[in-house]
Amino acid sequence: MTRTRTQGMRRADQRQVLWRFRGYSTPYLGMLSLGLGLRICEMLADLATPWPIAAVVDRVLGATSAHNPLTQLLGTFGTGKAAMLATAAGAVLLTAAVSGAFDYSGDRVMNGIGERMSVAIRADAYAHLQRLPMSYHDRQAVGESTSRIITDCGRIKDSLVALFSTLFPGMLSVGSFAFALLWLNWRFGVIGIGCMPLVYLIGVRNRRLGHQAARREREAEGHLAALVTETLHGIRTVHAFGRQDLHDHRFAVESEGALQAGLATTRVQALRVPLLELATAGGIALLLWTGGSGVLNHWWSVGQLVVAVSYLNSMVSPIKSLSRLSVTFAQGQASGERILGILDEPCSPARSEAGLPVRAAGRIDFQGVSMCYGSRPALHGLDLTVLPGERVALIGPNGAGKSTSLALIAGLYQATHGSVLIDGRATTELPETWLHRQVAVVLQDTYLFPGTLADNIRYSRPDADDAEVAEAARAALVTDFALHLPDGLATRLGARGTGLSGGQRQRVGIARAMLADAPIVLLDEPTSGLDAHAERLVIGALERLVASRTVVMTTHRPALLDMATRTVHLPARDTGRRTTGGRVPDACLPGGRPA
Ligand X SMILES: Nc1ncnc2c1ncn2[C@@H]1O[C@H](COP(=O)(O)OP(=O)(O)OP(=O)(O)O)[C@@H](O)[C@H]1O
Q: Would you put residue 399 in left (φ > 0), alpha (ψ -120 to 50) or beta? A: left
What angle separates helix 168-184 from helix 186-233, to the nearest 10 degrees?
A: 170
Is 568 in a helix, a strand, or coil? strand
Q: Are 42 and 106 in contact (CB under 8 A)?
A: yes
Judged by the rule CB under 6 A, the positions of this chain that interact with ligand X are: 138, 373, 376, 378, 396, 398-404, 554
Q: Which is nearer to ligand X, 352 or 398 (CB)?
A: 398
User: Which amino acid would we find at residue 195?
Assistant: C
Nearest approach, Cβ of residue 378 and ligand X (Å): 3
Q: Which is nearer to ligand X, 299 or 373 (CB)?
A: 373
Nearest approach, Cβ of residue 419 and ligand X (Å): 18
Nearest approach, Cβ of residue 375 and ligand X (Å): 10
Q: Which is nearer to ligand X, 378 or 473 (CB)?
A: 378
Q: Which is nearer to ligand X, 336 or 396 (CB)?
A: 396
Q: Which is nearer to ligand X, 328 or 554 (CB)?
A: 554
DSSP string for residues in 221-279: HHHHHHHHHHHHHTHHHHHHHT-HHHHHHHHHHHHHHHHHHHHHHHHHHHHHHHHHHHH
Nearest approach, Cβ of residue 591 and ligand X (Å): 15
Nearest approach, Cβ of residue 114 and ligand X (Å): 39
Q: Which residues contact 495 (CB under 8 A, 6 or more apart)?
A: 450
Nearest approach, Cβ of residue 109 and ligand X (Å): 48
Rounded-to-integer distance, Cα 403 and Cα 176, Å: 67
Nearest approach, Cβ of residue 525 and ligand X (Å): 7
Q: Are 184 and 308 in contact (CB under 8 A)?
A: yes
Rounded-to-integer distance, Cα 139 and Cα 130, Å: 14
Angle (CA) 206-207-211 rounded to 5° is 115
Q: Would you put residue 518 in left (φ > 0), alpha (ψ -120 to 50) or beta? A: beta
Nearest approach, Cβ of residue 409 and ligand X (Å): 12
User: Which amino acid would we find at residue 317?
Assistant: S
Q: Which is nearer to ligand X, 25 or 555 (CB)?
A: 555
Q: Which is nearer to ligand X, 400 or 439 (CB)?
A: 400
Q: How many CA atoms lie within 13 A of 391 on its CB side?
A: 15
Q: Which is nearer to ligand X, 214 or 372 (CB)?
A: 372
Q: Which is nearer to ligand X, 399 or 451 (CB)?
A: 399
Nearest approach, Cβ of residue 431 and ligand X (Å): 24
Nearest approach, Cβ of residue 402 and ligand X (Å): 4
In three state form, how does the secondary structure of 84-134 look? Answer: HHHHHHHHHHHHHHHHHHHHHHHHHHHHHHHHHHHHHHHHHHHHHHHHCCH
Per DSSP, 413 falls in state: S
Nearest approach, Cβ of residue 234 and ligand X (Å): 17
Q: How many CA atoms lie within 13 A of 170 on its CB side?
A: 21
Rounded-to-integer distance, Cα 214 and Cα 203, Å: 15
Element (H, E) at 53: helix 51-55
Q: Which is nearer to ligand X, 147 or 403 (CB)?
A: 403
Q: Which residues contact 30 (CB under 8 A, 6 or more apart)?
A: none
Nearest approach, Cβ of residue 377 and ligand X (Å): 8
Q: Which is nearer to ligand X, 99 or 405 (CB)?
A: 405
Sign of the alpha-carbon dihedral angle for 478, 482, 488, 489: negative
Q: Which is nearer to ligand X, 78 or 399 (CB)?
A: 399
Rounded-to-integer distance, Cα 369 and Cα 381, Å: 5
Q: Which is nearer to ligand X, 167 or 588 (CB)?
A: 588
Rounded-to-integer distance, Cα 127 and Cα 452, Å: 24
Is 195 in a helix, a strand, or coil? helix
Distance from the Cα of residue 444 to its chain's centroid: 31
